[in-house]
Structures are given as structure tokens and as C-alpha cells.
Structure 1
Amino acid sequence: MEKKRLSKALAAAGVASRRAAEELIFAGRVQVNGETIKIPQTLVNWESDRISVDGESIRGEQKKVYYILNKPSGYLCTNVRPGKRPIVIDLFPPNMRLFTVGRLDRETTGLLLVTNDGHFANKVIHPSSNIIKEYIVKTLHEITPEHLENLSQGARVDEKWVRPVSVVKLRKGTFKICVKEGKKHEVRIIAERAGLKVVELTRVRIGNLALGTLPEGEYRILTPKDMKAIGVL
């Protein structure tokens, strides 16, 4: 069997996306043949090497699965449980090794992709894919033309100035915003800079894949048509 980089092997086994797998390795949480490895480029072979994460043995590549979830508020997008707080993976059967494609913060609801395919996850979240994400934002304020102008100018997020693709007022205190960057808390930071206090934030679209009528807390398998709509096929 051909050897693979450790980070790529973990992603293929459904442990995490390739980027998240690298973070696990750097944190000293991955062992190969009993030795802690901190170099993602380390070459491994599933037939000859014993690989574990946090002491749990990883048995090689799994059949790839892809889900769309309507994430409820209060759930964290992580595979490492902080205390007793609920995580997104709790919404799936306990025998499934899955991870989220990117993250929504604890209070944010809506469309979230969940998979065990690290290559797929990396393609969706990588900026070079230029996949648009659409959010519906409810605020405490009546949205004025000045607010819309300030929203369209964007904000500095993680030392980089980012601008939304579009901003549209929907109702008195609600607007729709489309972004490409996908940086942490990007929409909330843009809204805050525009002088708006966010009270509800829901992602409703990734690429051309819409959340639709999927009930909150429920998930379904992605169809080939869904995969094409996301924009990674």
C-alpha cells in the first residue's frame, strides 16, 4: 500500500479535515506506532503502521458519507467536548466517526455540512474554491441605508479586511448577507462594525445548496445533485 502523509491519512480516515488533522498533530495528540508525531508530512502506511488519536486506535479509511444538518443553537462544532456542553456530533449515531465542514459558532443555527471525507471538507472551506455562504441576520435595530452602506464595506477579520459579496435588507431589522471568506465570526464582526447588534444568525445556503425546509436538529444524506450544487464536483 502506498504511503501517505499523516495529515492526509487522518483526513481520509474521517478523523478531521486535513487542516484540523494538522492541528491535532501539532498539538501532540497523534501517535504512530506508540510514538507521538508532530510533523504532518510524516509518511505512514495503514498496513504496517499503528495510528492513534488521543489513545484511540484509527483503523484506516472509511466509506465516505456526506450529510446536510440544520444546526440548532447551543451546539459546538468540535470533536473535543469542552466539559459537558453538547457538540454537533451528538446529533448523529454514536458509532459514526464524523466531523463538521468548517464551523458555525455556538449560537449560530442553520446549514452545516458533516462528513468523514477530509478531502471534500478541505475543498469546501478553502478560500480558493470561492464558494459563497448566505446568512439571514436578525438585529435589534431598524436597518437604515447607512447601515447597509457600512455592511457592504466589510470589516477587518483576523488581520485581513473582508467585504461581503452582497447585502440586502429583508425586513425592518433583518438582512441577508453573502460572504466568501468564511472567517471566524466574520458576519458578526461585519455587523458590529456597522453598528448592528446581532440577535439571530442563520446560515441558509452554501454554494447553490439551500437549507430548505429541513427541520432544526435534523439531517439527511447529500444527493449527487446536492454535491454538485455545493460547487466542489
Structure 2
Amino acid sequence: MTTPSDPDEPEAPLWEQWAEQRKQLPTGERLQKVLASTGWGSRRTCEELIAEGRVTVNGDVAQLGRRVDPEQDRIEVDGAPVGVKPGLVYYLLNKPTGVVTTAKDTHGRRTVVDLVPSEPRVFPVGRLDVDTEGLLLLTNDGDLAHRITHPSHGVEKEYLVHVKGRVSQGGLRRLRDGVELDDGLTAPAAASQPSPGVLRLTIHEGRNRQVRRMCDAIGHPVLRLVRTRIGPITDRSLRPGDWRELSTGERRALAEAVATS
């Protein structure tokens, strides 16, 4: 004699279907909450960004209600990468002369990494040679670092350059039109001379010792070189050897710069 089954208890296959459906339910944090936490505005503003189709997750246009895993998912707004992974840090350092732009130096010289917190581990974004001063970004956000340094994004870097002698209008024109170097013609640069022998030069390439070689090519060797801006990031109050974290607004502006450029 068989015992009748409980009418309230689903048959085994239904339980299995229910368990499988539970596995397929989206998990993680709501996308608008994650965006708001990274400085893209209030949750309402972030909901509007999503509704307008300006947010993608792993390359797909996101929908309202989407949940994401900050550890795994790639999130972009208008093509700009959003650093949502926990533990990401962004430092702005005013590099002094004599400090090497690397994580470790085989000759025992002081490096830029020695000037910022040791944890979490960060790396410099791009390079400044040992004799060059000025602004340098350090981060553990590899995606943003790659976009900033990749030539295709053309992020501007501005320098204040003290050179030997007064540069003629012809010399300035050569900088603006492009200078022939041993590795090819440079891209046009923004160049001005606020005072005799002092140039303000803006480039978007990242060739080795490019500014120094450009000035050598027009007959005006560099006496002092200071980087004053990286894309939208600048800080005249930061003293040599000091560092600070980027603000939420600066991180957003930097992400937008690498997207639009």
C-alpha cells in the first residue's frame, strides 16, 4: 500500500526546476548604487544614465534593475571605464628630481613608489625621467592606466619648460607643426612662451624623453622640466615629494577624458 503524497509538496522534478531558477537569478549590487558610490551622481541621476542607454556592462547596454559584480564586471559610462573593483586607489604625486619612475630600482635609488603608501601596491602611470619634476599618477587600476598611456586615447600632458635662450617664432612654429626626431615626426603640440626662455608645451604622445628631444631639435636644450597637468588633473599647491588621493570628481573627469579623447 502506497502513502499518498503531500499535495503541498512539489514533485522532485519541480524542486529541481525551482533550484535551477534560483541559480539563474541575478546577483550582486544594483548598478545604480555602484555608479553612485564611484561619483557619477545620486542614485536617481545614475538611474537616468542607465535609462538613457549610456551605461554598459561587459559591452552590453545595461537595463534598469541590472545587478553587477564589482569584482568581475566591466562597467562603462559613455565609453569611460568606471573603476568599481573594491580596493582601487588613485594617487597624485608631485615627483621631485632624482626620483626614479619605477616600482623598484636595481641601483638602490629612491622610486616614486617609495613616496606613497606601500599598501595597496600601486604602479606609476607612464614615466617621468629622473631629472624631470611634476605630476605623476599612481594607481592599481590597470584598465584606466592603460587608457591614459595608450597613444590612441591622446591624453594631454602639459609641461613648463625652462630652456637655454629665447625661442624664436620659427622655433615655436616647429613645435606646433611637429619636430622631426630620430623615431619620426612628432604630433603637433600646443606651444607658447610666457616669458623669454620659458615654454608652456602640451603634447599627447608618450615617447621617451620627448619634450627634451623636441627642444634639443630646435636648438634650445632643456634646463628644467616640470609636468603641470595630466588630462584634466592639475594641482599647483602640491609640493615636490607630496602626494594626495584623487577626488571622486577628478577620477570621473579622468575617466571621461580617456573615453572622449
User: Normalized against structure 2, the TM-score is what?
Assistant: 0.62
Q: How does 1:139-150 map to 2 (within 5 A)?
A: 139-150=163-174
Q: Residues 173-188 of structure 1 correspond to what in structure 2 (within 5 A)? A: 173-188=197-212
Unaligned runs of 5+ in 1: 1-60
Distance in 1 between residues matched to 2:153 and 2:131, nearest whole Å: 26
Instruction: State whether structure 2 residue 240 is matched by structure 1 residue 216.
Output: yes
Cross-structure match for 1:69? 93
Residue 211 of structure 1: how far off its partner (Å): 2.6
Deviation at 1:224, TM superposition (A): 1.9
The 1:211–1:156 alpha-carbon spacing in structure 2 relative to 1, beyond 3 Å, is farther
Stretches of 4+ aligned residues off by more than 3 angstroms: none
C-alpha distance in structure 2 between counterparts of 1:168 and 1:138, whole Å = 12
Aligned with residue 105 of structure 1, among 129, 140, 163: 129
Write out per-residue CA displacement over residues 18-73 of structure 1, whole angstroms, 9 at most, x where no aligned residue: xxxxxxxxxxxxxxxxxxxxxxxxxxxxxxxxxxxxxxxxxxx8711101111111
CA contact (8 A) 1:164 1:177 kept: no
Is residue 68–residue 113 contact of structure 1 (8 Å, CA) maintained in 2?
Answer: yes
CA RMSD of aligned residues (A): 1.8
Length, aligned pairs only: 173
1:195 maps to 2:219:
yes
- 192 and 81 in structure 1: CA distance in 2 versus 1, 3 angstrom threshold: same
Q: Confirm whether residue 232 of structure 1 aligns to residue 258 of structure 2.
A: yes
Distance in 2 (CA, whole Å) between partners of 1:188 and 1:167 is: 14
Q: Read off the aligned partner of 2:188 and give its amino acid letter.
A: P
* 1:134 and 2:154 correspond: no
Which residue of the partner structure matches residue 153 of structure 1? Answer: 177
Partner of residue 52, structure 2 = none
Task: Answer with 1 or 2: which has the greater Rg.
Answer: 2
Residues 137-163 of structure 1 deviation map (CA, whole Å, 9 limit, x = unaligned)? 001212221221232233345633113
Distance 1:192 1:178 in 2: 16
Relative to its length, the structure with more strand (as a share) is 1
Q: Please tell me whether residue 170 in structure 1 is matched to residue 159 in structure 2.
A: no
**Structure 1 pair 89–158 and aligned structure 2 pair: CA distance change class (3 A):** farther
Shift of 1:198: 0.2
* Counterpart residue identity of residue 90, structure 2: Y
1:92-121 C-alpha deviation (Å, 9 max, x unpaired) = 233441110000100111110001111110
Q: Distance in 2 between matches of 1:134 and 1:229?
A: 16
What TM-score comes out, normalization by structure 1 length? 0.69
Query: Distance between the aligned counterparts of 1:75 and 1:155, measured in 2?
Result: 28
